[in-house]
Amino acid sequence: MVRIADELESSIQHATDIGLLGIIMPTVDTVEKAQAAVRYAKYPPEGRRSMGAGQAARIWIGEGRDATMKYRTTVNDNMMVIAMIETPIGVANAYDIASVPGIDGILIANTDLANFSGWFDRESGPYQGMLKLIHDATKRAGKYLGATGPVPPTPFPRSEFNFYQGGQPSDGWTPPAR
């Protein structure tokens, strides 16, 4: 999976064309942005992803028309689309965002939620209330719930999280010494 820069067709399809099986869409405040993420990550009838040059099929299935069609007809079931909620507007729309067909889960962006809300004390009542609203909306919609790490104390058991984003980069890049 990769975090995509924006919900534009070109951004999402560049990622899916090279074989990624999941995208994380940041700063989802509206149903429309969530729908765009699904639209360009999935083939018709669920979306409107183009076939690209076929490199994704070659990575996962193999060469040739049969491999391309096997990939084309199975990848929608394997493509994961995660929406990040990072703002109070996103919190207010959390249930509607989580309910978008094709959105598989919601990722609570802990640090930016504090940044955009102004509630830097992540143990404060207002911040905890936002976490609970996202949690409840996501669970009610029947979707996966994730959080960026480190996760602050939550008003619900940590076992309620299905996944976490965080840790050291896995691409081998190391920041330069200062």
Three-class secondary structure assignment of 24-50: EECCCCCHHHHHHHHHHHCCCCCCCCC
Give the pLDDT score at 171: 45
| Exposed/middle/buried for residue 136 (C-beta within 10 Å: 0-12, 13-18, 19+) | middle
State residue 77's pLDDT score: 94
Q: Looking at residue 175, what is its pLDDT?
A: 52
Half-sphere exposure of 97 (CA within 13 A, CB side): 34
What's the confidence (pLDDT) of residue 177?
61
pLDDT at site 178: 56
Which residues are within 8 A (CB) of 168 and not within 5 positions of it... i.e. 6 or more apart?
none
Alpha-carbon gap, residue 85 to 65, rounded angstroms: 39
Backbone angles phi, psi at 81, to 5 degrees: -120, 120
Q: For the segment 29-74, what is each residue's pLDDT rounded down to a tens digit?
A: 999 999 999 999 999 999 999 887 778 998 899 899 999 899 999 9
Q: Sign of dihedral through CA atoms 148, 7, 15, 11?
A: negative
Extract the residue ranges of the chain whose pLDDT is less than 50: 167-173
Per-residue confidence (pLDDT) for residue 145, from 0 to 100: 95
Write the secondary structure of 76-136 as one string of H (helix), E (strand) and C (coil).
Answer: HHHCEEEEEECCHHHHHCHHHHHCCCCCCEEEECHHHHHHHHCCCCCCCHHHHHHHHHHHH
